[in-house]
Amino acid sequence: MVSRGIRGATTVTENTADEIIHQTKRVLQEMIEANDVAPEDVSHVFISATKDIDAAFPARALREFSGWTYVPVMCMAEIDVRNSLKSCIRIMMVVNTDRNQAEIRHIFHNEAVTLRPELVEKRGN
């Protein structure tokens, strides 16, 4: 097994706790399912948010998953780059896996699909 990073990102339409937790949970769920991640395989999770997101800690979403209590999670501010994507939550989940880099499925939702279009899978939606 080796350590690999799984990227995820989404945007929110409003700065409310419900929207932040809902959108973060959607991305995390898909990251976990697409990569067959078990909590015991996770080293840590970093979650950043742009400065316009301050109604809740996005990391709260991970605590709603059964078995994820002991996974270290940290929220932080995203670098405020001029003309960058606003209302964006980015996730870096570091996991121990037998998958190679090309087999890792990175997940991008909403306007965040513009961040790394070459990594966005064509899902027919």
Which residue ranges make up the annotated binding site?
Answer: 7, 90
Q: List Cα–Cα distances, 92 to 82, 95, 125, in angstroms.
A: 22, 10, 24
Nearest to 56 by CA among 75, 29, 81, 32: 75
Indicate the annotated binding residues for prephenate: 7, 90
Beta strands in 27-118 (DSSP E): 42-49, 73-77, 88-97, 107-108
- The span from the CA of 97 to the CA of 48, in Å, is 23
Most distant pair of Cα atoms in the chain: their distance: 40
